[in-house]
Structures are given as C-alpha cells and as structure tokens.
Structure 1
Amino acid sequence: MDSNSVLQEIQKKNRFVFKKLFNELYQDMVSYAMGYLFDKGSSEDIVQDIFVYLWEKSETINIESSLKGYLFIMVRNRCLNHLKSIKITDNTNVLALHTILDEAYDLEVFSAEDKSIIYNQVLKIIETLPGKMKQIVKLRFIDNYKYAEIADEIGVSVNTVKTQLKRAKVKITHSLGAVIVLLLTNQ
C-alpha cells in the first residue's frame, strides 16, 4: 500500500492499517529518536505521541511526499524541540557527529554519561587530525558546511572533501576503539 492509501485508510479510522503502520515503523522511529535524545523512555514517548497525533489529526494532515518521511521528520522536530525545552543546545553540532559513529559502533548499549565521554573523545581526536583533514571535518560537522562549500572555502575539489571525510571517519573510529572497549569493560 502506498503512503496516500495508508493515510486515507487512517483517515477512515481503519485500526488494522494503523496498527500495521505502527508495527512497521515504531522500532525504527524510536532508534532514530535515540540518536538525538540518548534516552529510550523519552524517545518512546515522542514516537507514541506522534502516532497518537497521526490517529487523532489524520483528517488535517496533508503529505506532499511519503508518510514514512513525514513521520521521521516529525520525530526529528519533536526531538529537537524536546532538547530545547530542557535547555540542551548543540552549539558544536555533536549530534551531527553521531552519524560518524553510528555505522561503526552500536551506541545504544552505553549510558548517557558514557556517550558524553565518547563524544568528548571524538572532539579530542578531531583536534589531532592532520591540518586539512581537521579543517574539513570541522567545517562539515561543527560549522555544518556542505561539501561544495568546504571545497570552495579551502580550494580543493568536492571529491577531495569526500575522501578526507572518509579517511577522518576511519581514523576517528579506529582511535575510539580503545575508549569503547574500556567503557564496555566497565559496564
């Protein structure tokens, strides 16, 4: 069933379709929220609230793209609003650094305190990277530049930017190995 059909069925209060959508997306949406909040309870609450909103307000929802995309954007926005409400800001774009680590390590097993240690370690590792690589990583993840903007800023090609970011990712994940092992053994 496509997104429009699913939304139309939910608008008709079809509980079967709603439950199927919930079962399909719930875990992925909670995991996505965890990437922002690092708190399973709050992540689950936000995702449940989104599904309640979808059920109650389905008649007023107009989706331009896909329902799944719409729901994940809602998760992101509500997570960011939640962080603002508890006065947490991301001035150094540490949340963007999560994407570096997400593929290499399963961060879900760590406490919020351990994750803070990991991210601080990532920031220290970035400071030890070679000159251009460090500059590219900072522009990408701290200043939130796009690849083309980084290339223009430092006078290299977009491919060089991508290559340097890949190499930096390898160096960061390799350097974090000892920290991850240490934190795992102290659990």
Structure 2
Amino acid sequence: MDVKESKLIDMLIEGRKSAFEQLYHSYSNRVFNLSFFLLKDTGWSEDVVQDVFVKLWENRSGLQRDQNLWTYLYVMTKRQALNKLRSVKRSNACFERLWTQISEVEDNLHDTVVAKELKENIKKLLRLLPRQQRTVFSLSRLEGFSHREIAERLNISPNTVKNHIVQAAKYLKNERLYHDLFLLAIFFSL
C-alpha cells in the first residue's frame, strides 16, 4: 500500500469528505466493473457502486490505516452484488405472483363484460320474437329446462315446444347472433 492511500484512509476515518471523494474517483470504476461482471446490468451495477461507497462512509471508523482498501471494497462489492441478486429474485417471484393475480382479475372482468354484452344483445333479439317463442326459447336455451319441463310449465305439448325453439333458432340464426347466443351458453355452462 502506498503512503498516499494510507493518508487518504486516515483522512477518511477522520470524516474528511475530500478524502472520500478522492477514494471514490480512484475506485468507483473498479467497483462498477466488478459488479457489472457479476450482475450483467448497468443500472444494478450503479446501485451497487452507490451502496458500497455509502457503506464505506458509514463504516469508516472501523477501517485500519494499513488496510488494503481495494480488498475491502472488493469484498463489499461482491456482497452487495449477491444481495442485489437475491432481492431481484424475490422481487421477480413477487412480481410473478402479482401478475398472475392481476391477470386472473383482468380475465374475470373481461369475461363478465363480454357475458353482459352478449346477454344484452340476446335480450334485444329475443324481444323481437313472438311472446310464446321468446318464453319457450329462454326457458330452453338460457335456463336449461327440457322440452317436457317447458311443456308442463306452459301447459302446451312437447311438440309445440320443439316448434317454438326451431322457429326462434331460425330467426336468431338469420340475424347472425345465434353464434353469440351459443357462446353465451358455453360461457354460462363453464
């Protein structure tokens, strides 16, 4: 170790900022290069340089005059780089969990909006059907009743139920929204 560096360490221990600045200019590039070698990221490496020199200033009273400063900074840089990697790993795991939760909420919200929109379109179309066709079709396709159950409920024959459903389906198919009705039925059956 040269006398100049030993004197700078003494001045640093005393709390002189000028010594700190000189040591920073002497070693910051080496600290950056080492951390970049370990992290492969410029931003993280700059963070490590800052952390290392902040710790150097905070722990200056524990330094020894004849200490090899580069060895001290080297060990601190490696520790800070490894700590950075650990925190990034934890952050990525947290980010992945958060992203999954946000995606699920977003998917559910999207499904709800699409279902509502489809339902509104179907209601508009169903209003155009004659009352009895609308009732039979709604009971069958939207509420899932069987032909026999609808016939009993409305006091009509199962054949009449079938005819109403066929007529309503033809109308809806011609309106090109039968596809949307089919999608809605699939959506609500999931």
Q: Considering the TM-score relative to the shorter chain, is it more than 0.5?
A: no
TM-score class, shorter-chain normalisation, is: 0.3 to 0.5
Normalized per residue, the structure richer in helix is 2
Question: Normalising by structure 1, what TM-score?
Answer: 0.42
**Is the radius of gyration larger for structure 1 or structure 2?**
2
